[in-house]
Structure 1
Amino acid sequence: MKAGRVRADGAIEANELARLAAVELLEGYRTRRFTPRDVIEDVISALELTNAACNVVVTPAYEQARAAADRATVAWSSGQPQGKLTGVPVSIKDLVYVAGLPALGGAPANKDLVPNVDAAVVSALKSAGAIVTCKTTTCESGYKLTADSPVSGVTRNPWNRDRTSGGSSGGAAASIAAGCGPLAIGTDGVGSIRVPSAFCGVVGIKPTFGLVPRSPGFSPPSWASLAHTGPIARTVADAALLLEAVAIHDLRDAASLPVPARSFDATPAKLDGIRIGSSADFGYAAVAPDIRTAFRSAVETLGSLGARIVPDCVQFEPDMLERILKPIAYTEQAAAVAARGANALMASDSDYRDVVAKGASYSGIEYVEAGYRRNSLRMSFLEIFGKVDAIVTPTVAVTAFPAGALGVDEIDGVTVDRHLGWSPFSWPINLTGLPAATIPCGFDADGLPIGLQIIAPWLDEGLIVRIAAAFECARPWSRFRPRMS
């Protein structure tokens, strides 16, 4: 796929429509430069090409998408679009229910699962006029930070197909990076929106816990107290637009927050008066040299935009993974599939069975004790946010590693946990329920994307959008795209 082209008369070449931002598509529909049916054909073509190269689609919904695009085309031609996303394509991660489409969730045990109900976020998107194009790849039950599963195989990174896309929302992030439409829905239990978005060089937002409902249908309900649903996009404005559409209250999710409808201003502006705390390693984490270099440069840019940088604002103990996260996350993962029995897990990959077995081995006391420590971690962030308005860190401690691997076990000469130790910046934010986003901030020596994580206080997604939009304007990344053939 080639870089975008605009003719001298201002018309956009038909085979570039799939690469346009959602806000550009809506403007094109309004001015009748092209139609939703034009766009959906380009998106389907791009998805087919990218899927052949990177394996990003589990279940296509192309005929339904064409029919929805025809309806949206009529609505725009009559001047009566039904919602703020009318005619805009969006993909849905395969952990999230779409009525009538299989919900495999990377699990062989779900081979016959076809829900008859939409998840709340899908209902909200359809009400806004968005067009569901496909279900995207994930690992089994979202348990790891890649999108490899026994159901769909290995998902690859469009920047280098020998490398992982990250996960578990890997199909979503890789398809957005490759230009297969502007918007995707992902989920994030220990970093599953932010990690693949960072690895693939796109924007991902994990909203405040409960801001976006997960019910009905988040199968299985793994990472029960940790999982979030949120947007993946190529631009900050698009991610904000998608978050506005899905940040709704739904009583079917006990964690859903009854807050008013949100709006986010993605207009770039100076960051004068904003105190931004920076931490390159949370005080203990091993971080690759290229990541540290890109992070320092990003922090300097934020300072040049007027932000007051408070260095080394976060200092955590190195045992958080073993003493807080694993007893909670692994226990919740085991509980999510407890009813299946051992035989149903025989087709699962061995790493997943190991996680389930470990989760089943924790006692109730260990789970509750981890909850107490989790609350202490939350209180630590409350104290930090008394001194700064937002925090920035690297999104991941490494760039994309070889496709098919669970992770890495060494960073800059330091041994780390292969499952989660190379992503020390993501899961603490799930433990606290804070909102966080990743935005592109550079490349490593091999040309692989690097992400900058922005963390804000609870329900202050607007501040994240403001900081991200300012950085995006100063360091635009949308011109950098993987070369797909």
Structure 2
Amino acid sequence: MSEIVMLSASQLVAGFWQRSLSPVEVMCAVLDRVTKLDPVVNAFCGLDEEGAMSAAGEAERRWRRAEPCGPLDGVPVSVKDLVAVAGLPTRQGSWTASPDSENADAPAVARLRRAGAIPFGKTTTSEFGNKIVTDCPLTGVTRNPWDTRLSPGGSSGGSAVAVALGMGPLSLATDGGGSIRIPACWSGVVGFKPTFALVPAGSAASWTALSTLGPITRTVRDAALMLDAMTCGNNDGPPRVGSPSGYSAALDDGVAGLRIAWCPAPDSVSVAPDIAECVQRAADTFEAIGATVIQADIAPIADYYGNGRIHSVQWSVFFAQRVRHMEVADRTLLDPDLTALSDAGTRIDTATFVDALLARHALGASMETFFERYDLLLTPTFHCGPPPVPGLPGHLRNAPLLTAWCNQAGLPAISVPCGLARDLPTGLQIVGRRGSDALVLRAARAYELARGDFPAPGPELQLPGDTEIAP
């Protein structure tokens, strides 16, 4: 059973073709895994077991006829609870959100479903995705699969934990400042933030004008398969079955001849030595597989730093605006961290907010110029390891400096596991110019092949002491 749940989506599909696996068998294994492990890590806040098993049965009948409906037919996918899935509520980690089930899928979910993927559950998030750990009053604390005393990161922590532990090979998440890449980094999986708005978000999921939807997976190929499905136009039908297309087409073309900038630690960021060592080895790997790697001081990013103020200003103002529209009684139900963020936003004047927007535009223009000289940029994904649960330490309350600037510039960026620092995963971040999503994925795949298989966390999980998950 454990072997099945740790297979990638592409391996599952190959098994369906060969009839060595069935979608019903796979979905049963995934749901059993959730039953066994989720009480410890709290990755899920909702399941549709009946709907998932029914959809798996339909997929199995199609595979028996050798007529899959799409390239992900029968593959389980979880969805972060900021994104609508028909038949399940979208609680957004908040007591203030409606408990009623959704009548329709969000656009990206609809496209995954059209490609054959089976949305089977909602994953935990911080309230409205407000912070880089995953805890909130509604669903409690989500724990790191490598060490349950620690956070997996956030706000897509549930998605990262689910994928890392074999509770489904694919998860759809969101990233407004690092919320895909940070939990991917700390949980030992792949997390890809596409170019802004490449994946359709729908009005409800893009209210910060910084967040975009993207995949969390165990392999780069699976991330590309998800992106193929989610960027397929409404009138195009699902992507073709059995032959690479879109972002999967050139995935194995390698990095020979690319000019890659390497920034070990931008100004004002102190990277932990053990993490720096892991990421340095990853940068060296790119040179070994044919790229030209040039250590560079990156002026546009350096200009962004002031403890990430241009991001913090916008983030807090957007949350203040959201809270402003709530009923007074609802505001008393909010996570204190979200309330503090909103209060900070109410103190920002119009001139400061506009200055932040102008700085955002300038950063984007500077990075366009930067990528005229380089094809890609490498950095650490995060400068330190995960904090203990629950809560968010004061030194991590500012904008995450190595990831949030990519949201400001709208750039594609991926975190790929690159080693263990103090027995915990850490990540390499690969960033490209706007629209170069295929190149970013190609480079990540080349590194993944050169690195070899990355270990998974052990399935024998225990809560530390007598701590509890639920609030």
> TM-score when scaled to structure 1?
0.89
Over aligned residues, Cα RMSD in angstroms?
1.8
Give the length in aligned residue pairs.
Answer: 450
Residue in 2 that maps onto 1:462: 438
Matches within 5 A, 1:327-366: 327-366=313-352
Deviations 1:356-378 (A, max 9, x none): 11112222222111111111111
User: Cα distance 1:216–1:370, how it changes in 2: closer, same or farther (>3 A)?
Assistant: closer
Are the equivalent residues in 1 in contact too, given 2:79–2:119 (CA < 8 A)? yes
Residue in 1 that maps onto 2:420: 443
Are the equivalent residues in 2 in contact too, given 1:203–1:234 (CA < 8 A)? yes
User: Cα distance 1:407–1:387, how it changes in 2: closer, same or farther (>3 A)?
Assistant: farther
Deviations 1:109-146 (A, max 9, x none): 01434321210011101111111110000000001011
Residue in 2 that maps onto 1:104: 91
User: Cα distance 1:322–1:305, how it changes in 2: closer, same or farther (>3 A)?
Assistant: closer
2:290 matches 1:306? yes
Q: Which amino acid aligns with 2:268?
A: Y
User: Cα distance 1:480–1:178, how it changes in 2: closer, same or farther (>3 A)?
Assistant: closer
Question: Distance between the aligned counterparts of 1:209 and 1:363, measured in 2?
Answer: 27
2:358 matches 1:380? no
Are the equivalent residues in 1 in contact too, given 2:8–2:218 (CA < 8 A)? yes
User: Cα distance 1:15–1:292, how it changes in 2: closer, same or farther (>3 A)?
Assistant: closer
Structure 1 residue runs of 5 or longer lacking an equivalent are: 1-13, 252-260, 410-417
Match of 2:58 among 71, 87, 95: 71
Residue in 1 that maps onto 2:41: 54
Deviations 1:188-232 (A, max 9, x none): 0010000000000000100000100111542xx54x210000000
Residue in 1 that maps onto 2:145: 158
Residue in 1 that maps onto 2:157: 170
Match of 2:447 among 461, 464, 471: 471
Match of 2:102 among 83, 98, 115: 115
Question: Distance between the aligned counterparts of 1:267 and 1:456, measured in 2?
Answer: 15
Matches within 5 A, 1:185-200: 185-200=172-187
Structure 2 residue runs of 5 or longer lacking an equivalent are: 236-244, 462-471
Residue in 2 that maps onto 1:240: 224
Question: Distance between the aligned counterparts of 1:362 and 1:326, measured in 2?
Answer: 11
Matches within 5 A, 1:76-95: 76-95=63-82
2:381 matches 1:395? yes
Deviations 1:282-338 (A, max 9, x none): 222121111111111111111111111110241304744454112211111222232
2:212 matches 1:212? no
2:255 matches 1:271? yes
SS in 2 for 1:91: strand
Question: Distance between the aligned counterparts of 1:43 and 1:133, measured in 2?
Answer: 10
Residue in 2 that maps onto 1:254: none
Question: Distance between the aligned counterparts of 1:477 and 1:85, measured in 2?
Answer: 23
SS in 1 for 2:386: coil
Are the equivalent residues in 2 in contact too, given 1:91–1:134 (CA < 8 A)? yes
Residue in 2 that maps onto 1:286: 270
SS in 1 for 2:149: strand
Matches within 5 A, 1:410-429: 418-420=396-398, 423-429=400-406
Match of 1:452 among 412, 423, 428: 428
Shift of 1:267: 4.5
Question: Distance between the aligned counterparts of 1:266 and 1:162, measured in 2?
Answer: 40
Residue in 2 that maps onto 1:125: 112
Matches within 5 A, 1:26-45: 26-45=13-32
Are the equivalent residues in 1 in contact too, given 2:150–2:386 (CA < 8 A)? yes
Question: Distance between the aligned counterparts of 1:250 and 1:378, measured in 2?
Answer: 29
Are the equivalent residues in 2 in contact too, given 1:102–1:113 (CA < 8 A)? yes
Are the equivalent residues in 2 in contact too, given 1:89–1:130 (CA < 8 A)? yes
Question: Distance between the aligned counterparts of 2:304 and 2:104, measured in 1?
Answer: 43
Question: Distance between the aligned counterparts of 1:103 and 1:234, measured in 2?
Answer: 25
Are the equivalent residues in 2 in contact too, given 1:211–1:249 (CA < 8 A)? no
Q: Which amino acid aligns with 1:262?
A: G
Shift of 1:408: 5.5
458-467 or 267-276, which moves further after superposition? 267-276
> TM-score when scaled to structure 2?
0.92
Q: Which amino acid aligns with 2:392?
A: L
358-367 or 463-472, which moves further after superposition? 358-367
Shift of 1:481: 3.4
Question: Distance between the aligned counterparts of 2:201 and 2:346, measured in 1?
Answer: 24
Q: Which amino acid aligns with 1:292?
A: A
Are the equivalent residues in 2 in contact too, given 1:158–1:177 (CA < 8 A)? yes
2:357 matches 1:406? no
Residue in 1 that maps onto 2:464: none
Q: Which amino acid aligns with 2:397?
A: H
Are the equivalent residues in 2 in contact too, given 1:165–1:403 (CA < 8 A)? no
SS in 2 for 1:179: coil
Are the equivalent residues in 2 in contact too, given 1:20–1:181 (CA < 8 A)? no
User: Cα distance 1:384–1:313, how it changes in 2: closer, same or farther (>3 A)?
Assistant: farther
SS in 2 for 1:273: coil
